[in-house]
Amino acid sequence: MKPKIYITRMLPRAGLDLLAEEYEVEVNPHDRVATREELAAGIKGKDALLSLLTDTVDAEVMDAEPRLKVIANYAVGFNNIDVAAATERGILVTNTPGVLTETTADLAFALLMACARRVVEADGFMRAGKYEGWGPMLFLGRDIHGKTLGIVGFGRIGQAMAQRGAGFNMKILYHDAIRAPEELEKAYNAEYRELPDLLRESDFVSLHVPLAESTHHLIGDAQLELMKTTAILINTSRGPVIDERALVRALAEGLISGAGLDVFEREPEFEPGLAKLANVVIVPHIASASVETRTRMATMAAENACAVMRGEMPPNIVNPEVWDRRQK
């Protein structure tokens, strides 16, 4: 008899087909985030769980099925999972790192361009039938080429963003908790700055940090006041990195010129008033939403889950100490 896996939401077919070779597959029939009750009920009698970043998998959920062996997260991040609780229970946790680097950087730069050139505003203007002919002051935006791009978080996605900025002949500044080696700075022609200095100097600021206690509300009132009034802020990292209430105030009062957001502090909700502002572009957490990337994420998550059932170490393991204990 095949082991059983519960999948919290429909995934690209390639991932499901891989899982079906090793598992008896059950998928949440609702195209929405599973409730806690549905999640707990879904994993009963299952050997594996394939979860999404929107699923909160804590100790209580894990205890709904004591025989659970692996939680395969369909995401690079895994802050939705209580990894310590999983480790204590001998449950392997896996993720899908590296796969969405370029796709996320594409979206971040697309938001940057859409904000700078007021693309969404202009599109709405046209659809409303307001266009009466070319005018010299119609939807004046801001140039991107030759400007200064400040990147906060210089990991893989931050570096990919730097590559895109270089293609527009932008000056690249970066801030990270750990300064990059000199050879890496040279490779990306990037200059290190402390965060306050980066905010003061940059025309565009793009956030690429993980969500942690140290990055929660990394950008708030004080930081927004440091930015140029002409600056544009981009966030494709995690919503709570920005104090969303402070951002709405800054946008409404003209402290900064604009913002492009793919993530929000309390998803799927966002701060009242944000959607009413013309100088912000908001999209529904789609940074990795290309056919190619989402398909690869599905196959990676499936490969992780299948490896465990074959008695093999999964390729992308978050808590290797659990695997080490199993080998003793």
Annotate 84-96 with three-state secondary structure.
HHHHHCCCEEECC
Per-residue pLDDT, 73: 98
Sort 66 into a burial class: Cβ within 10 Å, 0-12 / 13-18 / 19+: exposed
DSSP 192-261: E--HHHHHHH-SEEEE-----TTTTTSBSHHHHHHS-TT-EEEE-S-GGGB-HHHHHHHHHHTSSSEEEE
Per-residue pLDDT, 233: 98
Per-residue pLDDT, 327: 85
Rounded Cα–Cα distance for residues 184 and 207 (Å): 19
Per-residue pLDDT, 37: 92
Tokens at 243, concatenated: 């104090």
Rounded Cα–Cα distance for residues 227 and 231 (Å): 6
Tokens at 130, concatenated: 């307001």
- Report the 10 Å Cβ neighbour count for 176: 16
Closest residue by Cα to residue 95 from 291, 309, 304: 304
Residue ranges of E strands in the chain:
4-7, 24-27, 48-52, 70-74, 92-94, 148-152, 171-175, 190-192, 204-207, 232-235, 258-261, 280-282
Catalytic residue selected from 9, 118, 175, 238: 238
Residue ranges of E strands in 83-197:
92-94, 148-152, 171-175, 190-192
177 and 194 Cβ atoms separated by less than 8 Å: no
Q: Order the strands of the 232-235 sheet from edge to edge.
A: 190-192, 171-175, 148-152, 204-207, 232-235, 258-261, 280-282
Rounded Cα–Cα distance for residues 264 and 243 (Å): 9
Known catalytic residue at 217: no
Q: At what angle do helices 291-309 and 13-22 cross, to 10 degrees?
A: 10
Amino acid symbol at 311: G
SS3 74: strand
Residues 136/138/144/148 CA torsion (nearest 10 deg) = 90
> Which domains does the chain show, CATH number per domain?
4-98+291-326 (3.40.50.720), 101-282 (3.40.50.720)
Known catalytic residue at 238: yes
List CB contacts of 317: < 8 A, sequence separation 6 or more.
92, 93, 94, 304, 323
Per-residue pLDDT tens digits of the chain, which is 328 residues long: 899 999 999 999 999 999 999 999 999 999 899 999 999 999 999 999 999 999 999 999 999 999 999 999 999 889 899 999 999 999 999 999 999 999 999 999 999 999 999 999 999 999 999 999 999 999 999 999 999 999 999 999 999 999 999 999 999 999 999 999 999 999 999 999 999 999 999 999 999 999 999 999 999 999 999 999 999 999 999 999 999 999 999 999 999 999 999 999 999 999 989 999 999 999 999 999 999 999 999 999 999 999 999 999 999 999 999 999 988 7
- Return the residue matching tokens 């991107």: 144
DSSP symbol at 290? S
